[in-house]
Structure 1
Amino acid sequence: MIAFLFPGQGSQFAGFLHTLGGTTPHARFAETIEEASDVLHTDVLSLDHADALDSTVAVQIGLLVAGVATVRALRDEGIEPDAVAGLSVGAYGAAVACNAVSFDDALRLLHLRAQLMETAFPHGYGMLAVSGLSECELDAVIASAHTQAAFIANLNAPRQIVVAGADADLDQVRELALQAGARKAERLAVSVPSHCVLLDDAARELTEAASKIAFHAPSVPYISNRGARPLRQADAIRTDLATNLRYPVRWHDSTIVLGELGAQVLVEMPPGRTLTQLAEDALPGVAKVAIEQTSVPSAAALIRARAAG
């Protein structure tokens, strides 16, 4: 069983769309970038420049395009997923990969999502990754900080948790977390407070927009962000995509579910290899392949070999 994983915001780097497929990019990459550019009436290939990546809209659109382009290229090589999961914005790529929503509709809905997030919090907010404390321990740290805006947002691993909130509050949480024994506490390359109550209004508006888009039952299980469980109904996936910006992402639990479903190979879409690295502890006996800048034929051969045992 092969599971496709789609990374979230923070995995991007300058030029990541230009380096898809390494030195021998697959034709599907250029085709997908051109298609997205036509839908959004913008040059998508310009969205991965360093200055452009200051924009939440540019980052999220770029990640979706990179994921979908890679899925298409892998399919041309005969590699299909048996389950899909995406972290935060990565859920949109996962929904396209399991045929729950069209690429064009996913682009339009994601564009609105990113705009709502950016407009609600244009500056002064972000996210902090804390390593070495449990959820309960970090909850206690946040409570002791008496912050106005700091919330647990992503549970990536039992002791790798992301906090969202205002800059000043995140600075305070960082200091107290390190005093409480955290190994590391670093700000992420994210300029909005994702996955917390601060985005409640944005989630309501996005839900209204999603209600007007056609969704379909997925061809393979889609693992939800909010509940970390397999979804097999169109409306359930619609709700997950529209509201995941407001609720914590239980990524570690999602990874465990993939193992319970029988995943033999976890394949991470570009950019980066954060998700496969997180899975090393969660599912040590499962093979992992991060596409990164590898040529698609080489990646496909590796996936087939790992799936065969």
Structure 2
Amino acid sequence: MLALLFPGQGAQTEGFLHSLPTHSAVRATLDEASQVLGTDALALDTADALRSTIAVQCGLTIAGVAIARALAEEGLAPDMSAGLSVGAYPAAVSCGALAFDDALKMVRRRAELMEGAYPSGYGLAAVSGLTEHEVATLAARRIEEGEPPVYIGNVNAPRQIVVAGADAALDSFIGRALAAGARKATRLAVSVPSHCELLAHASDELTVYARSIPFRAPRGVYIGNRGGRPLYTADAIRDDLATNMRYTVRWFDALTVMQEMGVRVAIEAPPGQVLTDIAREHYPEMVALAASTLAFERLTATVQRRLHSE
């Protein structure tokens, strides 16, 4: 079985849309995105543009859908789709639950709400080497001591946790985590406090907005963000997308479910290879490939060969 994995904010790099494969499906996706957004989609990956949450999230959605469409034209439609944070939107498109133009409009509204709620002074930090319980204990201790809170935003792997909060709180927490034995603790290129209660109001507004967007039952399996479990109805996927900014992303649970359900080959959409690295470390029996690290022809040939060898 084949899965497509879609990265979240923080994976973006300057020029990542320009680095997409030369393929008719990619060109068509970029053209469609430009029409929907009313601006040249290829202008979203400049250094200046990537300072905007809106540009980043729209760009990641475009890249994910572009590669999914190109793969589908080569006979590689996914059996399962999952995305981390905003990556859930191209995942919903790839499994047929949501039209691309509607996904792009919803992502733009999502990013506007997130950026409007916290235009500056907030963000995310990644902590490696501590468990979710250890990070939660450190976060609770801060509150007991009267310090500003941080929140667990992502559980990407058993010892790879992302926390959200104000800049000063994150910087302080990084020091506390390193002192507690974390192997690494660094700020991420994200300027909003994603996946915590700080975005509850923005999530409520997006939920209202999403009521007017048509969703369908997925053709393939969609793995949700909040629970890391398969979702099979239009309403469940709409709710997952509209509210995921408010709740912890349980990515490792989602990856585990895909492995347990029979995924043997996973392709990570551009940009980056963070999700590929996690899969390779924890499920080495799963063939994980980052699309951004292979020529498209080589990628498709490798996937076809691996799938046919099962």
* Alignment partner, residue 52 of structure 2: 55
Q: 2:76: which partner in 1?
A: 79
* C-alpha separation in 1, matches of 2:279 and 2:12: 19
Amino acid at match of 1:252: F
Say if 2:190 is the partner of 1:190.
Answer: yes
Equivalent residue, structure 2, for 1:207: 207
1:167 aligned residue: 167
Aligned-partner SS, 1:4: strand
Q: Aligned with 2:191: secondary structure? A: coil
Mapped partners of 2:293, 2:184: distance in 1: 28
- Aligned partner letter, 1:105: D
1: CA distance, partners of 2:149 / 2:62: 32
Does structure 1 conserve the Cα–Cα contact (< 8 Å) formed by 2:142 and 2:149?
Answer: no
Residue 255 in structure 1 maps to residue 255 in structure 2: yes
Task: Provide structure 1 residue ranges, at least 5 long, that are not aligned to the other structure.
Answer: none
Gaps of 5+ in 2: none
Distance 1:219 1:282 in 2: 28
For residue 148 of structure 1, report the CA deviation from its aligned partner: 2.2
1:298 is aligned to 298
Over the aligned positions, Cα root-mean-square deviation in angstroms equals 0.9
Q: C-alpha distance in 2, partners of 1:263/1:186? A: 31
Give the one of 39, 44, 53 matched to 1:42.
Answer: 39
Quick check: 2:64–2:90 contact (8 Å CA) kept in 1?
A: yes
1:198 to partner: Cα distance: 0.3
**Contact in 2 for aligned 1:20/1:293 (Cα 8 Å):** no
The 1-side partners of 2:298 and 2:190 are apart by 32
* Equivalent residue letter for 1:59: V
Tell me whether 26-35 or 195-204 shows the greater mean CA deviation. Answer: 26-35
Distance 1:158 1:222 in 2: 22
Partner SS, residue 292 of structure 1: helix
Q: Take 1:244 and 1:292, find their aligned partners in 2: how far apart are those partners?
A: 26
Task: Judge conservation of contact 2:155–2:251 (CA < 8 Å) in 1.
Answer: yes
Amino acid of the residue matched to residue 106 of structure 2?
Answer: L
**Residue-by-residue CA offset, 1:59-102 (whole Å, 9 max, x unaligned):** 00000000101111111111110001000000000000001010
SS in 2 for 1:89: helix
| TM-score after normalising by structure 1 | 0.97
1:141-160 deviation digits (Å, cap 9, x = unpaired): 11222332310000000000
Measured in 1, the distance between the counterparts of 2:261 and 2:213 equals 29
* 1:94 aligned partner: 91
Aligned structure 1 segments of 4 or more residues deviating by more than 4 angstroms:
none
Counterpart contact for 1:157–1:252, Cα < 8 Å = yes
User: Match of 2:75, as an amino acid?
Assistant: G
Partner Cα separation in structure 2 for residue 299 and residue 285 of structure 1: 18
Query: Do the aligned partners of 1:164 and 1:193 also contact (CA within 8 Å) in 2?
Result: yes
**More deviation, 122-131/143-152:** 143-152
The letter for the 1-side match of 2:85 is S
